[in-house]
Structure 1
Amino acid sequence: MKGNGNMIRRGGWTKPASGVYKLNVDAAYEPETGRGATGAIIRDSRGNFIAACCEYNDHAIDVATMEALALLNGLKLAEQFGAQSLAVESDSMEVVEAVRDPSEYRGTGAVIIDDCRHLLTVLGMATFTHCPREANEVAHSLARHGYTQEVREFWFSDPPPFLDPVLISDRVIILEAVVGEEPSKKTCVASGSTSSPSSGCHDWDYPLDSLLHQIISLISSFHDLLAFRGTCRSWRAAASSFPSVYTFTFPPLHLEPDISHGVFNYKPKWKLVDPAKRALSLRFSAPRINPCRMCYLGCSYGYLIFSDREHCHLLDVYTGTKVRPPKLQSDGSSLIYYGFLVAPLTSPNSRLTLLSRTSMFQWQVGANSWTEHPLVGEPIHQIVFFKGQMFAMDFVQRLHTIRVVPQLSIQEVAVVWEEGMLVGLHSKPWLVVCGDMLLLVDLSVSTDLLFGFPGTLRVFRLDFSDEPAKWVKMEKLDNWALFLANDRRNPTFSCMNPERWGGKSNYIYVPTASQDSDEPWTAIEVGQPVPNSTHRLSFSSAATAHSSPLNSLWVLPSLVFGVCQ
């Protein structure tokens, strides 16, 4: 196995070929104490941070074993990320030669090398190269961190702050190489698929926020956003302060759970697929939940929410980390059916809200107890946030605004329905925030054709220009695409110019498998017949819809939502 001949070499870290991910691994070992640690990092062909890990080991055998273990941990990280084409570098010649020809290797790490070879059959194409220490500084820093802190840690979106100096140093090497090869061009690369005008931007760490926000608005996939955030700390801050998540031009991720019957009886697992980069599916698992029989309550700001009436758990869909609020003190007389966050979990104003038919329970994130407020009226089946307000749709399709500070208040919004909206049989509608519009998506079917003809999805815009406000039918979505899930407790999304990532304008994407393709979702054109499989799923009763298990849904991970959202 040989290194890629197209790599740019400047005495330090080198970038792999386009479409290839580079894995660097290293180990730290102290023979006097028998302690050691490993480090691994994955970057793409532009030097963007993808993932990293470190692991402490207080029973290390020798340096060769630790170097082999570093490779194994790095390959496991690559498998979890879903990398299909990999360039692996280690500064241990012994490990590189052992992987190339394991039949001749009889060292102490032979068993671990065999595990590496087995894992390679799953990963696909990989090349192995021996590199000097100066080309492996980031992996070395990770191993040193694991050793000195005696920790096992993973980073899947943002690099830890202690890596910033070496990451920026490596990127400067790449930038100098590009400028050296093309002296007439001055370039500042922003992400995996976007670029912007620049005046010879050599200062990676301090460009203007306004320019960075322009770049972010052009990003066409979640993975490209990760690459942008992974460049350095100031770029990460710019992504977190992006004015509105609803102006992103990339689609949400498709979440497919690996569970049955709506309960977790061991460790919850799920798969995330990016519609813009379908080959990069990611698999995740979370720590075991106790008690294990938890009911699904919804998804909000990148967290899955579960409860068993007394205990509540929030699981980050991208990292698998768990947040456990204090025990809920309730008489258990009314079933909790819906849960949502009123702001990103990192926001100082964030509250977790749980709904039953008779009460609203709220937990101020970081507090030691819950507050309970009585509720009257019809139960709420969907919440969206639009222009700084919380809008709620109840089970009889009345629209409300909700305020939680300084005290809870729920006020009905006077709305006029178009006459055509009341014809035929309807499912519970969806609310969708689409740019500066609040939309209602309705699935309807003529009563006399219910059993022989699929319904159609219609879209209405809430016109606030008159009082009372009025739902106005939209014949087309123009250059927008919408994303809905059957369970109204799950978030809805919109995306402008979906053709940029391979999608279609004027289409609505639902996370149920398509009968006409091998994709795990279905795309439905507005106003056109809905496939029968999707049509049947959408007419579940109100009671069933709010006691259903976790099914496939659309989601944006929590890191997308800055504290300003």
Structure 2
Amino acid sequence: MSGIQGWSDLPEGLLHSIVALLGSFFDLLAFAATCPSWRAAFSSYPCKSTLLPPLLLQPDVPVCSPRPRPFSNSLAPERSCYVTDLANQDTYTCCQIPLFAAFGDRKAPLSPLDNFYFGGASYGHIILSDNHQSCLVVDVFTGVTVSPPQLPVPADVYNHLYYAALTAPIASPNSHLLVNAAGHNFFWPVGSHSCLKRSPRNGTIKQIVVLKGQVLGMDEDRRLFTVDLVPRIRMQKIAVDWGGDMTSKWHLSQKWLVVCGDMVLLVGCQGCFPSTGDTLDAFRLDLSSQPAKWVKVEKLENWAIFISTDERSQPLCCMNPERWGGRSNCIYFYFHDSKDCITFELGKPLEEDTSNPSVFIFICCGTMMQPMWVVPSMFCNS
């Protein structure tokens, strides 16, 4: 290759082929830190967030020797949380989360966040809120915190935050924070000085996914919406055909929206909670027809899905999990009893085994912070 003077001159295409072969987040960090041209190639790689399994953040696992962050702008006391990397389980990792009320630790020091609770997790950030008008968006691994302006909710109205999520990585030019609170949808264009309120006329959003820049939302009744952010906030209902049998709309007691590549999937189980003997099903949203259709998916092909035990944490996915010892066509959950993950193969009931004779995955939406799957913000695609 004529004209190449050294390692920093390697073409972007070749560097991208190297990125695709790296086997851990630490390898990817080392690659990005090599030189400016390698970091630029890493930043432009289109599918960083699905190269490796997400990290499992476990606030319920004791941390013996917390490691300090390299930098943080948090003024509140912090709590160490154990982090498991399925691709490199021999490596010890931890992160520091601002200490807030949802940890329920009575021995913890007083914190300015004692009135804050967990509201959601997306793009490597957790979203906290008090019961009034304030929110915080905290990077899980750097601790860098941004504070949106107060929600335009009357001070005498009890503001219970049901769900919160980012519509894009926080550094993206069109990133918004979506908050479902006090019966309304609120949108904060990240970095702006005001929040926009939208009435629940078209439904209050309980989950969002993003497909090729288009935000899709779902409410409690499984109704779907497109959410346009520019030039103005607009929600529009998507007409969906459930195959002529409306009971199929409700046969999934638990349900999650997740994007795998170019597919929007609805994943769920018929039981109240994923348990031994239960089967998980998946349906792909076909937007090519009018109305749109949910089409049952028999196999996830080369994808694996990771679902947190708090329903406000966005499900994540990974391509070609066999690279790190995982399994395609499977859904991974965290199991509190074993402090480990449980794997459901799509379409097949979970069978008992000697290590976990009886599995019950409790899915909640409470105030306590639950173990969750996260992708560090710098690996999230913009």
Structure 1: segments with no counterpart, 5+ residues: 1-197, 539-544
Q: What are the superposed Cα offsets for residues 378-424 of structure 1, whole Å, 9 maximum, x if unpaired?
A: 43221110121101111011111111222111111111224597288
| C-alpha spacing 1:519/1:503, structure 2 compared with 1 (3 Å) | farther
Match for 2:342 among 522, 527, 538?
522
Equivalent residue number for residue 210 of structure 2: 385
- Answering whether residue 376 of structure 2 is matched by residue 549 of structure 1, we say no
| C-alpha spacing 1:367/1:249, structure 2 compared with 1 (3 Å) | closer
| C-alpha spacing 1:286/1:442, structure 2 compared with 1 (3 Å) | closer
- What is the CA–CA distance in structure 1 between the aligned matches of 2:242 and 2:236, rounded to whole Å? 18
Equivalent residue number for residue 394 of structure 1: 219
- What is the CA–CA distance in structure 2 between the aligned matches of 1:238 and 1:225, rounded to whole Å? 11
Equivalent residue number for residue 186 of structure 2: 361
- What is the CA–CA distance in structure 2 between the aligned matches of 1:200 and 1:339, rounded to whole Å? 50
**Paired residue secondary structure (1:279):** coil
- What is the CA–CA distance in structure 2 between the aligned matches of 1:411 and 1:533, rounded to whole Å? 43
| C-alpha spacing 1:209/1:421, structure 2 compared with 1 (3 Å) | farther
- What is the CA–CA distance in structure 1 between the aligned matches of 2:140 and 2:115, rounded to whole Å? 19
**Paired residue secondary structure (2:186):** strand
Equivalent residue number for residue 56 of structure 2: 254
- What is the CA–CA distance in structure 1 between the aligned matches of 2:113 and 2:322, rounded to whole Å? 45
- What is the CA–CA distance in structure 2 between the aligned matches of 1:500 and 1:259, rounded to whole Å? 27
TM-score by length of 2: 0.81
Match for 2:165 among 324, 329, 340?
340
Q: How does 1:108-257 map to 2 (within 5 A)?
A: 203-245=6-48, 248-257=50-59
| C-alpha spacing 1:306/1:528, structure 2 compared with 1 (3 Å) | same
Pick 1 or 2: higher relative contact order, CA cutoff 8 A, min separation 6. 2
Q: Retained in 1: the 8 A contact 2:202–2:237?
A: no
Q: What are the superposed Cα offsets for residues 267-294 of structure 1, whole Å, 9 maximum, x if unpaired?
A: 2332221110012231122456523221
**Residue 509 (structure 1) shift:** 0.6
Match for 1:274 among 79, 85, 96?
85
- What is the CA–CA distance in structure 2 between the aligned matches of 1:409 and 1:520, rounded to whole Å? 41
Match for 2:256 among 424, 430, 433?
430
Q: How does 1:320-331 map to 2 (within 5 A)?
A: 320-331=143-154
- What is the CA–CA distance in structure 1 between the aligned matches of 2:89 and 2:52, rounded to whole Å? 13
- Answering whether residue 128 of structure 2 is matched by residue 302 of structure 1, we say no
**Residue 528 (structure 1) shift:** 2.0
**Paired residue secondary structure (2:137):** strand
- What is the CA–CA distance in structure 2 between the aligned matches of 1:310 and 1:364, rounded to whole Å? 16
Which structure would you say has the larger Rg?
1
- Between 1:340-349 and 1:299-308, the stretch displaced more is 340-349
Q: What are the superposed Cα offsets for residues 98-139 of structure 1, whole Å, 9 maximum, x if unpaired?
A: xxxxxxxxxxxxxxxxxxxxxxxxxxxxxxxxxxxxxxxxxx
Q: Retained in 2: the 8 A contact 1:441–1:458?
A: yes
Aligned-pair identity in percent equals: 40
**Residue 376 (structure 1) shift:** 2.4
Q: Retained in 2: the 8 A contact 1:455–1:530?
A: yes
Q: How many residues in Structure 1 have an aligned counterpart in Structure 2?
A: 349
Equivalent residue number for residue 67 of structure 2: none
- Between 1:527-536 and 1:352-361, the stretch displaced more is 527-536
- What is the CA–CA distance in structure 1 between the aligned matches of 2:293 and 2:241, rounded to whole Å? 5
Letter in 2 for 1:283: C
- Answering whether residue 311 of structure 2 is matched by residue 491 of structure 1, we say no
**Paired residue secondary structure (2:13):** helix
- What is the CA–CA distance in structure 2 between the aligned matches of 1:250 and 1:536, rounded to whole Å? 23
- What is the CA–CA distance in structure 2 between the aligned matches of 1:275 and 1:519, rounded to whole Å? 13
**Residue 483 (structure 1) shift:** 1.0
- Answering whether residue 372 of structure 2 is matched by residue 561 of structure 1, we say no
TM-score by length of 1: 0.56
**Paired residue secondary structure (1:228):** helix
- What is the CA–CA distance in structure 2 between the aligned matches of 1:499 and 1:426, rounded to whole Å? 29
Q: How does 1:37-56 map to 2 (within 5 A)?
A: none
Q: What are the superposed Cα offsets for residues 3-22 of structure 1, whole Å, 9 maximum, x if unpaired?
A: xxxxxxxxxxxxxxxxxxxx
**Residue 214 (structure 1) shift:** 2.5
**Residue 547 (structure 1) shift:** 3.8
Equivalent residue number for residue 94 of structure 2: 283
- What is the CA–CA distance in structure 2 between the aligned matches of 1:466 and 1:237, rounded to whole Å? 39
* Greater fraction of residues in helix: 1
- What is the CA–CA distance in structure 1 between the aligned matches of 2:365 and 2:36, rounded to whole Å? 41
Match for 1:444 among 270, 286, 300?
270
- Answering whether residue 114 of structure 2 is matched by residue 292 of structure 1, we say yes
- What is the CA–CA distance in structure 2 between the aligned matches of 1:315 and 1:199, rounded to whole Å? 46
- What is the CA–CA distance in structure 1 between the aligned matches of 2:183 and 2:34, rounded to whole Å? 48
